[in-house]
Amino acid sequence: MTAEMTLPPTNTRTIDWAALREDFPILHQRVHGRPLLYLDNAATTQKPRAVLDALCGYYERDNANVHRGVHELSNRATAAYEGARERAARFLNARRSEEIIFTRGTTEGINLVANTWGAKHLQSGDVILLTEMEHHSNIVPWQLLAGRTGARLAFLPITGDEGLLDLSRLDEWLTTDVKLLAFTHISNTLGTINPAAQLCSQARQRGIVTLVDAAQSAGHRPLDVQAIGCDFLALSGHKMCGPTGSGVLYGRIERLADMPPWHGGGDMIESVDYHHSTWKQPPHKFEAGTPNIAGAIALAAAMDYLDAVGRDKIAQHDEELGAYAFERLTALKGLRLLGPRLGRAGVVSFMLGDIHAHDVVTFADQAGIALRGGHHCNQPLMKKLGLESTSRASFYLYNTTDEIDRLTETLREIQKYFTTASAPSA
């Protein structure tokens, strides 16, 4: 709608990715005297002008509470907020907009499912099947639920540094005790792209409910919840050009209809008396209190922006950058890179010889490059790989192969600093 894109909407056009940088005001600055090179997109992405305008425009023109007033501004705010729900439904190809619940992000979406569907349907002895590459936000909510219900967790194994799920024995893992399969679509550490549709279809054949953590995929490739066949899918707005504190939980309507509410309060009720209340229908049943109205509206603007660029094109660009980074970085002496060689997302985690990730990130920062160093909220995975931390570069639509060259050269300089500067002294 409002995305200010000058590109012709044809499928064959090629995109000048560097030119897209003009849409992102924050990118035009120097850090420690050098042009900012932002490579921490898996943590959060930057926001295009169209999204900033949507946020600002809402507060400047339409701000009012939703679903409550009859005055003009409240009507406008409600229409824009519910319009954002429809936009999100189209973005994910949900059957209907009632399947879209606005959340603060992926973490809240997963906790919502654990505390509603999980609390109602899981019992002692049931198994919650995750994978060994999950983010803490797709582990800890299930641990809490397991503690309350007596259910237990199991983890689909991955194959070493290559970081692929070992699917050859998937059938053996999908036992009759398994009630839920929850997995990440794209690993924020390994860059692995999991075959979401295949996993969901095999689980579904056995009556297992599925949840997809789409935090890393939603802004990076086309997503179709019907084609994937999942019951739930959670995403974060801030990782896909949208504002922080915005997000979506998709839930198949049959599941949502069979879930108790989570948070209680205004907006989610039909009627309240002192001792008893009744709930609205989904999705409102799951949105207690004043929601992040501006966030949802700006998230819809982010969806417009991504679709104007073309999510299929973004996915292709991502994979090109991932493959290029793999080639360039693995050519550095002593560099160990995690994750698959082919078909990877634009996320590369690596160890630069024995130089600790925090040192790498401090030096890269001096060179104007934003990397992340640490465990990336993947401590169990790190332990499994025998690591404490890695450095990570993660790409987005405004990154280019030239920037990966700059990263490579900087890493080479860092290696040089640590080998020549540290000849042992007394």
Partner 1 sequence: MFDNLNDLYQQVILDHSKAPRNFGELPGADHFAEGRNPLCGDQVSVAVKMQGDVIEDIRFKGSGCAIAKASASVMTTALKGKTLNEARTLFEKFHELVLTGQAAPCAQLGKLSVFGGVHRYPARVKCAILAWHAALAAMAGDQKKVSTE
Ligand X SMILES: Cc1ncc(COP(=O)(O)O)c(C=O)c1O
Catalytic (active-site) positions: 377
| 392 touches 348 (CB < 8 A) | yes
Q: What is the smallest separation between the CB atom of 319 and ligand X, expressed in angstroms?
A: 18
Draw the binding track, 22-61, toward partner 1 (x: CB under 8 A; -: no contact): ----------x-----------------------------
Of 129, 240, 256, 377, the one binding ligand X by CB under 6 A: 377
| DSSP string across 276-294 | EEEEPPTTGGG--SS--HH
The beta strand positions in 107-163, using DSSP E, are 127-131, 152-156
20: phi then psi, degrees, rounded to nearest 5:
-65, -20
Q: How far is it, in rounded angstroms, from Cα 122 to Cα 147?
A: 11
Which of these segments, 42-50, 268-276, 328-336, 382-390, binds partner 1 (CB under 8 A)?
382-390
Any contact of residue 106 with ligand X (CB under 6 A)? yes
Per-residue binding letters, 395-424, with partner 1 (x by CB under 8 A): ---------------x--xx--xx--xx-x
Exposure of 368 in the CB half-sphere (CA atoms within 13 A):
14
Q: 11: exposed, middle or buried (C-beta count within 10 Å: 0-12, 13-18, 19+)?
A: exposed
Q: Is 349 in the site for partner 1 (CB under 8 A)?
A: no
Structure tokens at 345: 């997302």
What span, in angstroms and rounded, lies between the C-alpha atoms of 386 and 273? 56
The answer to whether 299 contacts ligand X (rule: CB under 6 A) is no
Choose among 334, 345, 340, 351: nearest CA to 392: 351
From the list partner 1, ligand X, none, which binds 226 (C-beta under 5 to 8 Å, kind-based)? none
Cβ atoms of residues 128 and 146 within 8 Å: yes
Q: Which of 145, 215, 268, 298 binds ligand X (CB under 6 A)?
A: 215
User: Cβ of residue 416: shortest distance to partner 1, in angstroms?
Assistant: 9
SS3 65: coil
349 binds ligand X (CB under 6 A): no
Decide which of partner 1, ligand X, none touches 390; Cβ closer than 5 to 8 Å per partner kind. none
**DSSP assignment of 172-190:** HHS-TTEEEEEEESB-TTT
Output the smallest distance, CB 331 to partner 1, in A.
Answer: 20
CA geometry: angle 125, 126, 132, nearest 5 deg: 115
236 near ligand X (CB under 6 A): yes
The size of the interface with partner 1 (CB under 8 A), counted in residues, is: 26
* CA distances (Å), origin 154, targets 9, 66, 414: 45, 42, 40
Residue 158 contact, options partner 1, ligand X, none, Cβ 5-8 Å cut-off depending on partner type: none
373 contact, one of ligand X, partner 1, none, CB 5-8 Å limit per kind: partner 1
Tell me which of 159, 366, 370, 401 binds partner 1, using CB under 8 A.
366
Residue 28 binds which of partner 1, ligand X, none (CB < 5-8 A, kind-dependent): none
Binding site for partner 1 (CB under 8 A): 32, 355-359, 362-363, 366-367, 373-375, 379, 382, 388-389, 410, 413-414, 417-418, 421-422, 424-425
| Contacts to ligand X by CB under 6 A | 42, 105-107, 135, 137-138, 184, 188, 213, 215-216, 236, 377
